[in-house]
Amino acid sequence: MNREVKMKRLIIAVVLFLLAGTAVDAATGMVSFDVKLDPEAHTITGTEDITFTPTDPHLYFLLLANLDREPNPYLSPRVIDQSYPNGFDPSTTTIEKVEMVQSGGNTALPFRLISLPPEFQTYSLAETVLALDLPQTGAEVTLRL
């Protein structure tokens, strides 16, 4: 795959990553990003801060990039060629830690990566949802991913 096509894909991935944070309602929350783009390594690294008032202690974040970790072996080569004209290019989102940001310091939150049900038409379903259990609800909180 040529360098220009790879760069375009990387820019699209950055835009999609940034748009993912807009799912928090603007009236009740705020999202900010601190990211670095490495075009040579084809990676985006950084943090996302989400400030909101949770009403449910269970949170789920869809990790869309993990749906394309592996090509779907059940699709014909023709369909794969149409979907990936420059060849299959795997993608992934890696979550290293989740913290609750507080004035006295950050508190690490346990998290788990769960799989989507097989109803979704993709091959890579493992670790596609980030699940958190918050210690409290009703008060504004900032999460750092």
Q: What is the pLDDT of residue 138?
A: 83
What integer best gives the mean pLDDT of the chain? 78
Q: What is the pLDDT of residue 44?
A: 87
Question: Is residue 25 over pLDDT 60?
Answer: no
Please tell me whether the overall predicted TM-score, pTM, comes out greater than 0.85 for this model.
no
Report the alpha-carbon angle 3-22-96, nearest 5.
65
CB 33 within 8 A of CB 21: yes
Question: Is residue 43 over pLDDT 70?
Answer: yes
Question: Is residue 58 over pLDDT 70?
Answer: yes
Task: Tell me the mean pLDDT in the region 23-37.
Answer: 73
Give the domain range for residue 92. Answer: 3-144
As for how many domains the chain has, the answer is 1
The pLDDT confidence band at residue 14, using thresholds 50, 70 and 90, is low
Residue 60 one-letter amino acid: Y
For residues 10-20, one letter each, b for 16 or more C-beta atoms within 10 angstroms of the residue's C-beta and e for the rest, the string is beebeeebeeb
For residues 50-89, one letter each, b for 16 or more C-beta atoms within 10 angstroms of the residue's C-beta and e for the rest, the string is bebebeeeebebebebbbbbebbeeeeeeeeeeeeeeeee
Question: Is residue 22 over pLDDT 50?
Answer: no
Task: Tell me the mean pLDDT in the region 6-14.
Answer: 63
Question: Is residue 23 over pLDDT 60?
Answer: no
**How many CB atoms are closer than 10 A to CB 130?**
19
Q: Which percentage of the chain shows pLDDT scores above 70?
A: 77
The pLDDT confidence band at residue 28, using thresholds 50, 70 and 90, is low
93-131 pLDDT, tens digit per residue, is 899 999 998 888 899 999 999 987 766 566 677 778 888
